[in-house]
């Protein structure tokens, strides 16, 4: 199961900075309408959906998918081409919709939809909590040209309210790069992947 699903279909086309250029280019800002983030938070037993609802995401997957995901808000991204052709992409977004669902008691997590399928099958089921999230993302070789070490990651800060009206502060940090040691039987040595969920 992928740790992060970052879908920016339009961003890939709209950041039309030629990857093969010999000279560094100034930053290009593009507003995209299909950027979403989906990941499991194993520390807190939650499946997290940012800028898309779980039902919309899973319905989109069921259809193929043949088009971009139905993101809720547009997000401004910035891209810049380095002298060797790598494209550095990043964004900072405020108050994106966030849903957190309880991961079901399955033997081993399979995927964002499968892990909450029993809840999705109930038309009356709602997320464990919802709220607004501020998020930062950066990838210094977004299209993986291998012209430099690829460091990437994101940071999320959110305030969510559960179905009983309790409010929580939520933080998640994910960071890695492709040049650190990655043993066969464990995660990369440089991987940072941690979360905090505290009642306010």
**Between the CA of residue 142 and those of 7, 73, 112, 145, 164, what are the distances in Å?**
12, 22, 23, 8, 40
The answer to whether the bond into 74 is cis (omega within 30° of 0) is no
Q: What is the DSSP string of 178-200?
A: TTS---TTS--TT-EEEEEEEE-
Q: How confident is the model at residue 16 (pLDDT cuts 50, 70, 90)?
A: very low
Residue 83 has a pLDDT of 81
Residue range 181-191, pLDDT digits in tens: 667 776 667 88
3-state secondary structure of 11: helix
Residue range 119-150, pLDDT digits in tens: 999 999 999 999 999 999 988 888 788 888 78
Residue range 67-103, pLDDT digits in tens: 888 999 999 988 888 888 888 888 999 999 999 999 9
3-state secondary structure of 139: strand
Residue 39 has pLDDT above 60, yes or no: yes
Contact 33, 76 (CB under 8 A): no
pTM of structure: 0.85
Q: What is the DSSP string of 28-60?
A: EEEEES--EEEEEETTTTEEEEESS-HHHHHHH
Residue 187 structure tokens? 């995660």
Share of the chain above pLDDT 90, in %: 47
């Amino acid at each position: 199961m992928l740790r992060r699903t970052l879908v920016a279909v339009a961003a890939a086309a709209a950041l039309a900075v030629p990857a093969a250029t010999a000279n560094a280019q100034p930053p290009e800002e593009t507003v995209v309408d299909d950027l979403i983030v989906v990941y499991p938070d194993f520390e807190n037993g939650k499946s997290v959906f940012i800028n898309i609802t779980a039902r919309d995401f899973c319905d989109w997957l069921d259809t193929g998918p043949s088009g971009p995901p139905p993101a809720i808000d547009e997000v401004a991204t910035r891209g810049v081409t380095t002298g060797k052709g790598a494209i550095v992409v990043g964004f900072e977004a405020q108050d994106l919709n966030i849903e957190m669902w309880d991961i079901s008691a399955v033997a081993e997590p399979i995927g964002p939809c499968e892990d909450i399928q029993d809840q999705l099958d109930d038309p009356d089921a709602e997320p464990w909590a919802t709220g607004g999230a501020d998020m930062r993302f950066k990838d210094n070789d977004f299209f993986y040209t291998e012209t430099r070490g690829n460091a990437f990651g994101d940071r999320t800060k959110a305030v969510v309210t559960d179905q009983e009206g309790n409010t929580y502060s939520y933080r998640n940090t994910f960071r890695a790069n492709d040049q650190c040691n990655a043993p066969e039987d464990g995660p990369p040595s440089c991987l940072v992947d941690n979360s905090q969920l505290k009642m306010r």
